[in-house]
Structures are given as C-alpha cells and as structure tokens.
Structure 1
Amino acid sequence: MTANPPIEGDVCRTEMECHQEARSHLPAIAERIIDHCESSSCYTHIDSEPIPSEGFVADIIDMFRELLFPGYFSREKLDPVNLRYSLGQTISKLYDLLADLIAHNIRHDCLRYNQSCSHCETRGHSLALEMMDAIPEIRQILASDVQAAFDGDPAAKSHDEIIFSYPGIYATSVYRVAHKLFELGVPLLPRIMAEHAHSITGIDIHPGAVIGKRFVIDHGTGVVIGETTRIGDNVRIYQGVTLGALSLPKDAGEKLRGKKRHPTIEDDVIIYSGATILGGDTVIGSRSVVGGNVWLTESIPPDTTVMMETPRLVIREAKHAAGS
C-alpha cells in the first residue's frame, strides 16, 4: 500500500521548526564572539578614537588624476573657456577632503597611541596645502614616466593610450602622490592609497620607496617594490619583478624598522620579468641588465648583464593510442 505524500503545509512547518531550532543557537554563539573581543589575541578598534577612513581614498585618487592629467579624467570636457573654473573646483574640493582626512588620521594616531597633542586640524590644513603645492612637480615627473613608456614600447600608439590604459602608469601615479604624503609624515593614508592601486593593478609599491624620473613598469602584474628600495632615473622593470628584503627574523618588526632592507637600482637599468633582487646592501650598477627569473642577493657592477643559462628542453613525441 502506497503511503500518502506529505501535506505541503506539514513540510513547511517542519522546515520552519528546523530553522528556528538552528537560530536558537545564535545567542550563545553571539556571546562567545562578543566575549572574545576582550581577548588580548583579538585585534579590535572598539573605542572613541576616529576610524581611519578609506572610503574616500578612491575619490581622492580620482581627483588627483584629474589634476595630474588635466582633461583625461575630468568629469566634464575641459576647454580654454572652463579650464580655470573646472580645475579650480576640483582643487578646492580635493583640498577640503584631503585636509579633513589628514587631520582625521593624525587625530586617530594621537588618541589611539596616547601621543602628545599635534594640533590635528592645523596640521591637516598645512600638510594638505603642501601636498597641493607639489602637484606641478609631480605632474612634471609623471610626464617623464609617460614619455619613457612611449619611447620604449613599440606597441604604444600614443601618449593618450599610455595614460588611459597602462596599469604601470596608474600605479606610478598613485605612488608619486602617496610618496609625497609619506615624506610629509601623513599617517596611514599613503599606505591605504598604495594598497588601493595594488588591488586594481597587481602592482605593489610601498610609498616609502624612492623612485627617480622616467620610471616604467611594463605590463606590471606581480611587481613588488619594498619600502627602502632606491631606484634611479630611466629604469624599466617588467611583470613579476620583486625588489624585496632578505629572509627576516621573527622580531624583524622592531629590530629592522626604518633600516635599509631593500635593494638599490642605479640609473638606466632594465630588469626583466620574474627577476628577484633582495637585500638592503644589494646594488644593481648603472646601465646593467638583469634577465628574466634571475635571483640576486649580491651587488653587480655597472654595465653588467646577468642572465640565467638557457635551460635544456626535453621534447618527446606523443604516443598514439592503440588502434588510432
């Protein structure tokens, strides 16, 4: 004898009871989660200090790009008639947002780490003014980066193509702004900006690195440039290049903070894809070439080429299946 199928209402009621039973465990789980916030092993930001804001970082970067490359990323067409008005509006908005954000981040560090009063609002406006005043200088060095990319890349059809579409120029633009903020001693914001560019391009440049003019990152994905790296003028690097530190001890944070840990790359050097160059004492001499996949932890003199030996290829003829 065939059993009658369950009534739809009974199935729904059973499922609802299961759902309620599962939810009945939530209060105890919530208590565990909340109680664990008081554990020393849990990093929290539960206090009266302001939270550093990263919500405005993308807006700040967009406005900087409007000013660094006028007309390329503006929200309206620029022409000789509206140039002063449009850029003036962007300058005013960027200054206000930047001053507030710098003051906010300074106040955060002041309160959270019990620092002496640093006059957050006054410093925020002062540092924002210095940053805005540096825009023509940053624009000039970025122009050299764009020109170097065009000079060295036969695939580039125009400067416009490079500015609009090359991830290396985007990452370098953000780096040059973040580096100036880093030099001015602005907390947190330079790193947040650098990580925003990293998330978009796959290019990780610490804002503390010092990079000369006519700098080119070709393709770019996977490039890492550490905090104490020093790069001269007219340097070109390709995707997957790491300019990093040697293996660090567990307590390196305290012992090595602020010390030179990353290599120095002198003028007119080319570093091909996948190369890894490590160590604060490592110097790549001017006009040298570092080949793909090379691993270097020692210095090389100027006018040197370092290449991997050509690997031996093993080519086997495929075996065909029986009867084919």
Structure 2
Amino acid sequence: MKPVPATDAVGNGRLREQLSAMTTEAYRPELADIDRLPTLDIARFMNAEDATVATAVGAQLPAISAAIDAVTERMTRGGRLVYAGAGTAGRLGVLDASECPPTFNTDPSLVVGLIAGGPSALVTAVEGAEDSEESARRDLDVLGLSGDDVVVGISASGRTPYAVEAVRHARSRGALTIGLACNADSPLAAAAEHGIDVVVGPETLTGSTRLKAGTAQKLVLNMLSTITMVKLGKTYGNLMVDVRASNEKLRARAHRIVALATEASDESIETALADNDGEVKNTILTLLASVDAPTAARLLEDAHGHLRRALEAAAA
C-alpha cells in the first residue's frame, strides 16, 4: 500500500478533528449492539428519532421564514432558485427542483438543482466531487447568475467545500444566498446571508447523514419552495390552481379543484375549462367573476398570475 503523503495526512487529521466535533457525526456507544436487536426494536428506535426532526426544524422557523420572504422578493423580480449540494444533500436539492414544474406549472429553468459531479452523481457516487470548489464555481457560472437569483447551499455537515464555495461564489456575483446545514455555527451558514442550521443531533448509524439530517433538509426545502410558490400566487388558498388539464388524471383533478373553488355545476365547469384551454386559474376566474376567457387571461396577466388579486380587480 502506498504511504500517505505528509501533507495529505495532516489535512486528513484536521478533517477528522472537524468531523469529531460535529453532532451529526457523533458516535452513540449505546447503539453498539444495534445489529443484534430485533427488527421491530430497531424500527421503533428509528421512528422515535425521526419524530425529533420536526422539533429541530421548528426551532429554525424564524430563520426559514426570513429566507422565504427574501426568496419571494427576488423571484418576483424574475430571479431563479438554485440548490447546490453534494451527495444526499445534492440529490435532495435536485428532487425539490424537479418537483416544481409538475406541481406548480413552473418553467424548468425557474428552480434548478446542482449536484457535485453532475447528473451522473444522482445515482453513482463521484469520488472527490464534493471537495471541488472549482466545480461549484463552474456550475454556477454556466447558469449566468444575476442579482435577482437565489442560491441555496445544502450540506448536512455544513462544511462541504462544494456547497460552501457555491454560496461564496454566488454572493460575489450579487445573488442572494442561503446556507442549510445540520450542525450549529456551520461554515456554510456563516458564508450565507441567511443561515439555517437545523441541529438534529447524532444519527442512528454514525456517518449516515441521509437519515435525520436528510429528513430535516427535505422538510426545509419543502417549505422554501412551497411557501415561496404560495406567495408567488401559484395557489388560491390551499388549492393547486396553477395546473393545466393535459391528461386524464389532471383533467379530473382540475375539475375537482374548480368545483371546490366555485361550487359551479359540472356542465359549467367543463364548458369553462374548454374555453380556457384547461387552465384552472383562468377557469375559476371566468366562473367567479362572470367574465369571458380573454378577459380572464388579461386580468391574470395584469395581476402577475395572482388569482386572488385578479378577482379583486374584476370586482372593483
């Protein structure tokens, strides 16, 4: 076996020290015999551990809310939401980004997920990718960041070079930055304008931060994207109205949403959906404001897509 160069050994030693100080990496001696326990006992323990994650997220709600308001303000100006992370954190960012177009009818370029090592890293580990600060800068430069964009660095440890550099580089380009980590006082949170450190504590399996840390990151990303979209007018109350009925399932869902919003007859709903090319927002506006499809389209355009504002304008 090749000897480890002295410089690498020193760097590795420093990294081991850093990891030993992180709660997400802490060893739990009381679980040393977990592999000998009955399956049900292990499942009960993991379930109890998972139940603590929501409380940890709850402790960060003021920071999360402030970040969402800042994201909404940038996206109202035409900015994009960009997630950047490595490994599990990167995959969670890509997942959240990929769910926005089918959920909120957004353009795929509006919410973007970057993962260290590129798309292949979604299914195969790319060795050394998370340590590449150069890759973070390059991936963001390809997007051509502007001052209206938002970059969210995601890292369970809060020290992943790819995520930290993504935030630093984005900030140097004038973009709004958010750092999401699962250790207190993380370098990632410190590098960002909005730091969110959700401290979930030691994992059931030491070194497996796809567990509680991964769950916490998913919960926060759900809030970031969902609440931002609500504030951008992608919903009417809690109804998903930014939907176009383009297949059988969506047609049935669209009809039901319009019915819940308007209490109109089935016949009226079907006629209005056809007149509005299956657009749910337009259909609801047509029925509630008693306007034709072209007028509904104009009112929504003037209201920047906010159905409630368009209804208020129609009633004025």
TM-score by length of 2: 0.22
Higher helix fraction (1 or 2): 2
Higher-Rg member (1/2): 1
Higher relative contact order (CA 8 A, sep 6+): 2
